[in-house]
Amino acid sequence: MMKLNKGVEVKNLPDMTVAYIRHTGSYKGNEKLFKILWNELLKWAEPRNLVGGKDFKALVVYHDDPFITHEDKLRMSVCFTVPSDKPCFEMYTDIFKKWGSIL
C-alpha cells in the first residue's frame, strides 16, 4: 500500500496572469535545474519590468503526481505573476534550445 504524503495542500487561488518556463522530465534533487530555470525566466522578465511590485508572487507548479507519472514525463513550471493589463508577450523559446547542452 502506498503511503500518502500528508504535506500536500490543494488551494483554490484567484485568477493570475503568469510568465513561466515549463520543464518536462526529472527534477527531484536537481538544484542546478531550478537555478537555470529561474535565471532564464528572470533574464527575460527584468528588461520588461515584470519583476517585483506589491502583488508579485513566485510560484512552482507541479503538474503531475510523481507516484503515477513516469519520471521522464513529469511536468513542472516555474512562474511568477505579471500584471494582467500588460500586453501579450512573445513566446520565449530560446531556453528550450539551451536545456540539452546545459543539463
* DSSP per residue, 83-96: -TTSPPPPP--HHH
Answer with the residue of higher pLDDT: 36 or 9: 36
Residues 6-33: tens digit of each pLDDT: 566 777 878 888 888 899 999 888 889 9
- The pTM for the full model equals 0.71
- DSSP characters for 7-42? T----------EEEEEEES--TT-HHHHHHHHHHHH
| Residue 59 three-state SS | strand
Q: Phi and psi at residue 96, in whole multiples of 5°?
A: -65, -35
Residues 57-95: tens digit of each pLDDT: 888 888 899 999 999 999 999 988 888 777 655 544 444
Whether residue 51 has pLDDT greater than 50 = yes
pLDDT at 36: 92
